[in-house]
Amino acid sequence: MNNMASDNSLKSSRIHCRDSLLILDGPLSIHTIPELQKNLKQTRLDTVTTIDLSGVDYIDSAGVAFLEQLSERTGSAANLQKANEKVQRALETFSSHQNRKPEQSPEPNFFESVGNSVYSFGESALDFLYLTSEIVLWSLYGIFHTGSRRKGSVIQQSFLIGSNAIGIIALLSFVLGLILALQSAAQLRQFGANIYVADLIAISMVREMGPMMTAIIIAGRSGSAFAAEISTMKVTEELDALRMMAINPISYVVVPKFLAITICMPLLVTLSMILGILGGFVIGLTYLDLTFVSYFNETISILTAEDLLVGLSKSIFFAWVIVIIGSYFGFKAQGGAEGVGKVTTSAVVASIFAVIFLDALFSLIYMI
Amino acid sequence: MPNSIIQIRNLITQYGDKRILDQISLDFFENQVTVILGGSGCGKTTLLKSIIGLVSPAAGDVRIFGAPFDAADESHYNSALRRIGVLFQNGALLNSISIAENVAIPLEQHTRLDHDLINQIVMTKLHMVGLDHAAYLLPSELSGGMRKRAALARAIALDPELLFCDEPSAGLDPLTSAALDDLILTLRDQLNMSVVIVTHELASIHRIADRIIFLDQGKILFSGSLTEAKTCQISEVELFFKTGSF
């Protein structure tokens, strides 16, 4: 069964010109207009003064737009004639003559846009500092006052941030140890300094690679999740709802993450250090023919408590940076789905950058 | 009797074990505004989504424009979709582009009209919903009611033969709501459009309903004209019209 409008999509329309008369036939709809426009290119329009619509039995909004364009092109003299009552009413309904042009604000000039970006950078920096201070404050408060957050939320977050990341961190650290050992073994072997592979792996895994690798993985895994979760809550007004229930969004949403990551990060880094050393150990035993005892003794003797302390203390700073940056971008989200995507990307990029930058800074400080 | 444009036969929809729609058989007729009524959670939105194929039914048939409306039959499904406009409950505008671009999407994707003509149609449609002055704003810069109107402009961009509206007037002020109702009636008369509306607003029902379907717990309790509905003896329907009138 077909209804009238569907018939129109199958029917074709014609256009022809007789002296000053332009005659249109058939339905003028979204389906027939493209064809008509093509035919119109071969028609001379400058002599047309009247458009005859007596053959038009159906017209939709595209048809009306087309007619309006047509009478504009033929000059204002051309008028539409013999439209039946229905077509006449459609011409009024879909007329574009009353359309108001929207105002567009003028583009800012060069100095304005430079000024704007400087100003907004200053504001973001200030916002970031405010948020940092609030998170630190509420986290300190949250250690002793467990009532300000949902029961069990720190444990739940620890699972998400910590337990679920054990597999990937263990695997990557082991492979990293393996690669480091293999690369350095090839060089050290030439000098008969095989045993120093143990020193190299131990020091680099504990002081640098362990904390940094773990932080980068956590930034990608959990930093993105923080930003996505908080920004979604922002755009769906969940954060406003919390505020209106007299609940501080920071202490309810961010503090559990902050506390959980502070606990989990050193543990994950320790795991990473051990697995990295194990990776080197495998190479030492198989490729360099070292004995278990000599490799083990060398590792133990070179590592000091200071190395461990440097590695672990760094990792806690990395953890904090990841939470703060993730939350900062989350709270900054605007709009809808696209806003969430944008801030998630920015959060991951910014936190990985911050981790590496901070690591360089720490190296510098410890050297002095 | 007008032509039937949608035929539903023995439709069953369930989420898990919970049966939302129970053996619904129903016809929607051409050139009519049909209003689906019922209390919260009675399956109105699910019925709408089952008809347009967003929820796949557990059993039963839906035929639109005389052929089974099934995503598996791609050619009919896609060509039928071009003749259908849907206004979603929350608008569902794409947030990253302006509302003019939102309205232009179906025109750009499904017609071969040139750019100028598309622009003119977009502005006309936005004018019809009273938003031409806001054409270049993003959806996030609009109020809830404006967003809904912009979404209606997008739904009617292709002058569809069949328009589905999920709560078009919820959250609108009475004046805007009345203007939208007038617009829907104009479209019905002008383009022979058939309209299926889910709504609670009694004022709106009085203005536009040619036919009323009353759902309760997944079953059709009543179907008929507005005058029949008002004099209907079924207690739920009676209560609905009595409580809501003022």
Predicted confidence (pLDDT) per residue in B200-239, tens digit:
888 888 889 999 998 888 888 888 888 888 888 888 888 8
Q: Does A106 touch chain B (CB under 8 A)?
A: no
Contacts with A69 from chain B: Cβ below 8 Å: 116-117, 120
Q: Does A105 touch chain B (CB under 8 A)?
A: no
- Contact: B95, A69; criterion CB under 8 Å: no
Burial of B22 from C-beta contacts in 10 A (0-12 / 13-18 / 19+): middle
Identify the residue among B31, B121, B183, B185 best suited for mutation to test binding to A, counting A beta carbons within 10 A and taking the highest: B121
pLDDT for res A76: 53
CB atoms within 10 A of CB B26: 19
pLDDT for res A28: 85
pLDDT for res A359: 94
Q: Is the pLDDT score of A35 beyond 90?
A: no
CB atoms within 10 A of CB A281: 22
Check if the beta carbon of residue B183 is closer than 8 Å to that of residue B172: no
Domain with CATH 3.30.750.24 in chain A: 4-93
Question: Which CATH superfamily groups domain A4-93?
Answer: STAS domain (3.30.750.24)
Residues B42-57 have a mean pLDDT of 86
CB atoms within 10 A of CB B236: 17
Q: Is the pLDDT score of B246 beyond 60?
A: no
Identify the residue among A30, A96, A231 best suited for mutation to test binding to B, counting B beta carbons within 10 A and taking the highest: A30
* Overall size of chain A counted in residues: 368
Cα(first)–Cα(last) distance of chain A, in Å?
A: 87
CATH class of the domain whose range is B1-83+162-175+197-246: alpha beta
* Overall size of chain B counted in residues: 246
Give the pLDDT band (50/70/90) at residue A262: very high
Q: Is the pLDDT score of A4 beyond 70?
A: no
How far is residue B213's CA from residue B226's CA, in Å, rounded to a whole number? 10
Residues A42-58 have a mean pLDDT of 78
How far is residue B46's CA from residue B152's CA, in Å, rounded to a whole number? 20
Residues A135-141 have a mean pLDDT of 90
Please count the residue pairs, one from chain A and one from chain B, whose beta carbons lie less than 8 angstroms apart: 103
- Contact: B139, A1; criterion CB under 8 Å: no
One-letter amino acid identity for A351? S
Q: Where are the domains of chain B?
A: 1-83+162-175+197-246
* Distance between B216 CA and the closest CA of chain A, angstroms: 31
Residue whose entry in the numeric block shows the structure tokens 């809904």: B148
Q: What's the 3-state SS for B18-81?
A: EEEEEEEEEEEECCCEEEEECCCCCCHHHHHHHHHCCCCCCEEEEEECCEECCCCCHHHHHHHH
How far is residue B130's CA from residue B176's CA, in Å, rounded to a whole number? 9
One-letter amino acid identity for A67? L
Q: Is the pLDDT score of A89 beyond 60?
A: yes
Residues A55-72 have a mean pLDDT of 84
Contacts with B4 from chain A: Cβ below 8 Å: 1
Residue percentage of chain B with pLDDT more than 70? 98
pLDDT for res B244: 63
* Distance between A104 CA and the closest CA of chain B, angstroms: 8
| Both tokens assigned to A105 | 């604000």
